[in-house]
Chains A and B, each alone.
Chain A
């Protein structure tokens, strides 16, 4: 176990697909309880970064330390500390809501008897308590995302990774999901890394990371980005910094 004050630490990360450089020398640290938004256009390298953080891809260079464990060499311990909501649905459509949650709990070695009440409470809070036996296929997109979030939090992770979780959701569901994650930060001091290309989701972030063409263009507070780019809104700041990069290519 590597001693580190950061809950998530990425150093000198590099990943390429043949001659295409997807991530180039990524360095960043996430502190406990931070809500960090990873902003970047499509193809910026966000999903590649998430795939490496979740151990599904191996980096060419560098490493990610999660809760003190290397995802490369101690991935079982590192994975224990993270909850993940992927960009694409990863829920079994043919099973019921409860069956999906139970399946995840068992994969994490959790005692279902102890967890029963907690699952029920979470479903109730998310207004899904009357749909526990429904097949996931019958739920709306927003409800499926809620189930995925409940599932990601079942094992009390230290870091929550959300890879473009609002894709395909209506504005109300988007707002609800964002609100839920912000309340987790407030109430449980949960660290969240939220990847998106929608700038409004970054407004309440403690830190934002602008990623484009596999490179970090900016890392800091939202108002610092505005100051740096001399723009009035975060949205303008984001477009300015990513445009600049595009022009230089």
Chain B
């Protein structure tokens, strides 16, 4: 009986997320257009005929890889990152609209509600990521030689899922501290952009060392997004990047635990609220 309650509540949360997503027609469109622009415009401008050398950490069978191909895992991460942050936005929206009160007064453990919401959001993120791949990759495959097989993206599914889970958990954690929808612009500037740009999504990290940008290099090395991107890159080649998997799983657990702590009325944000 208890298991049924847990299951049906998860279904309820998922249905609501999917329903709301389906009503926001522009959300899927922008989730695809944003990385598509990077792929078709940025990569076309920055990439060279020689390709890019991933350096020591190379999961590809060749040393110089087509730039379109190199940035694809990074752009996939971009879709997941934006979608994860969108989940935090939906939590803030729920708080502003009062729906959060209904969620928090549901007779289920709070950790379960948060984890269910996280998984529901993750399912949506992964759907968006695969939509991006399905729409954009065939165009690139037709024009440039790719070493990654289509099957590589299917094999990469578990890694894409846990990567998405980590970014969703980060979004959940941020939603503890973002009090108003207007503050989302801050999330863009202080979370999304630094996380994306200071990573191996757009360039191999050895380039930072080469250019003497040591500080940025070390920042990228401690950025969990870097490990997520490299984990997906490796998985798309049928390889396992253990270090990446470990960092992503560890970060996911830390973000979830901190979120649960943040939403606990005895220890959390609610306690910080001052009433006069």
CB-contact partner of A58 in B8, B105, B106, B271, under 8 A: B271
Interface locus among A91-99, A167-175, A231-239: A91-99
In this complex, which of B13, B102, B266, B273 has the most chain A Cβ atoms within 10 angstroms of its Cβ?
B102
Report yes or no: A76 in contact with B105, Cβ–Cβ below 8 A.
no
Q: Are A102 and B105 in contact (CB under 8 A)?
A: no
Which of B102, B273, B274, B276 lies in contact with A107, CB distance below 8 A?
A: B102
Contact A56 B99 (CB under 8 A): no
Q: Judging by beta carbons under 8 Å apart, are B106 and A108 in contact? A: yes
Asked whether B107 is an interface residue with its Cβ less than 8 Å from the other chain, the reply is yes
Apart from A54-B101, A76-B107, what 11 extra A-B contacts exist at CB < 8 Å? A18-B274, A20-B276, A57-B265, A76-B108, A77-B107, A79-B106, A90-B101, A95-B20, A99-B19, A102-B12, A109-B9
CB distance from B55 to the nearest CB of A (A): 47
Contact of A56 (CB < 8 Å), options: B4, B23, B105, B107: B105
Residues in B whose Cβ lies below 8 Å from that of A110: 8
Residues of A within 8 A of B57 (CB): none
Determine if A84 and B273 form an interchain contact, defined as CB atoms under 8 angstroms apart: no
Which of A18, A88, A95, A109 lies at the interface centre, i.e. has the most chain B CB atoms within 10 A of its CB? A109
- B98 contacts A by Cβ under 8 Å: yes
Given A17-B273, A109-B8: A92 and B16 interface contact (C-beta under 8 Å): yes
Name the B residues within 8 Å of A107 (CB-CB). Answer: 9, 12-13, 102-103, 106, 108
B267–chain A nearest beta-carbon distance, Å: 8
Complex interface: chain B residues within 8 A of A80 (CB): 107
Q: Does A106 touch B at the CB level, under 8 Å?
A: yes
Against A, the Cβ 8 Å flags (1 = close, 0 = not) of B221-233 are 0000000000000
Is the Cβ of B270 less than 8 Å from the Cβ of A56? yes
Check B102 against A58 for contact (C-beta < 8 Å).
Answer: no
A22 to chain B, nearest CB (A): 6
A90/B15 contact (C-beta < 8 A), A79-B105, A84-B105 known? no
Q: Which residues of A contact B46 (CB under 8 A)?
A: none
Contact of B15 among A57, A86, A106 (CB under 8 A): A106
Determine the chain A residues whose CB is within 8 A of the CB of B107 once the complex forms.
76-77, 79-80, 108
Max count, chain A CB within 10 A of own CB: residue among B1, B16, B23, B266:
B16
Q: Is B25 an interface residue (CB 8 A)?
A: no
Determine if B105 and A106 form an interchain contact, defined as CB atoms under 8 angstroms apart: no
List A residues at the B interface (Cβ < 8 Å).
17-18, 20, 22, 48, 54-58, 76-77, 79-80, 82, 84, 86, 88-95, 99, 102-110
CB contacts under 8 Å to A, within B11-35, are 11-13, 15-16, 19-20, 23
CB<8 Å pairs between A and B, sample of 24: A17-B276, A20-B276, A48-B275, A54-B101, A56-B101, A56-B105, A56-B270, A58-B265, A76-B107, A76-B108, A76-B109, A77-B107, A79-B105, A82-B105, A92-B97, A95-B16, A103-B16, A106-B8, A106-B9, A107-B13, A107-B108, A108-B9, A108-B107, A109-B8
Interface residues on B, range: 20 to 34
Q: Please report the C-alpha to C-alpha distance between residue A79 and residue B106 in the assembled complex, in whole angstroms.
A: 7
B224 to chain A, nearest CB (A): 32
Contacts of A79 in B (CB 8 A): 105-107
Cross-chain contact B98 with A86 (CB below 8 angstroms): yes
Evaluate whether A58 and B4 lie within 8 angstroms (CB atoms) in the complex, with A20-B275, A79-B106, A107-B12 already known: no
- Is B207 an interface residue when CB atoms closer than 8 A count as contact? no
Q: How far is the CA of A234 from the CA of B5 in the complex (A)?
A: 45
**Taking the complex as formed, is B104 at the interface, i.e. its CB lies under 8 A from any CB of chain A?**
yes
Check B9 against A92 for contact (C-beta < 8 Å). Answer: no
Considering the chains assembled together, what is the distance between the CA atoms of A126 and B46 in angstroms?
Answer: 63
Which listed residue (B6, B23, B275) contacts A94, Cβ 8 A?
B23
Q: Which residues of A contact B271 (CB under 8 A)?
A: 58
- Measured CB to CB, the closest approach of chain A to B4, in angstroms, equals 6
State the CA gap A116–B121 with chains docked (Å).
Answer: 28
How far apart sit A95 and B13, CA to CA, in the bound complex (Å)?
A: 13
Name the interface residues of B140-160: CB closer than 8 Å to any CB of A: none
Q: CA of A106 to CA of B12 in the docked complex: distance in angstroms? A: 5
Contacts A102-B12, A106-B11 given; indicate if A86 touches B266 (C-beta within 8 A). no
**Interchain CB contact under 8 A, A54 and B105:** yes
- Alpha-carbon distance A102/B15, docked complex (angstroms): 10
Q: Which residue of B lies closest to A90 (CB)?
A: B98
Give, as a whole number of angstroms, the nearest-CB distance from A106 to chain B. Answer: 3
Q: Which A residues are CB-close (under 8 A) to B13? A: 106-107
